[in-house]
Amino acid sequence: QLDVADLDLSGGHIDDAFDRLLTLFPKLDPEGKTRVRERLVELFEVVGTEDPRVAAARRRLTSLLY
């Protein structure tokens, strides 16, 4: 799923990339969650922190963490 999210992002499907990883997140063990969280942070940086899609995905990730 990490690789597919990378492909989504490179193809301009930013929302799809974020949704793919955020949907997967709750189903993972703690190690998997760490990997997905780290990848999401990397993708946020690639897209740019000023992008509203990043803000929405960050909020969703935060709600999944707590």
Give the up-direction half-sphere exposure of residue 6: CA atoms within 13 A in the CB hemisphere: 6
Q: What are the pLDDT digits (tens) for 35-60? A: 999 999 999 999 999 999 999 999 99
Q: What are the pLDDT digits (tens) for 9-35? A: 999 999 999 999 999 999 999 999 999
User: Is the CB of residue 47 less than 8 Å from the CB of residue 9?
Assistant: yes
Give this prediction's pTM.
0.93
- Four-CA torsion 47, 31, 28, 13, nearest 10 degrees: 10
Confidence band for 66, pLDDT divided at 50, 70 and 90? confident
Q: How far is CA 39 from CA 54, 57, in A?
A: 13, 12
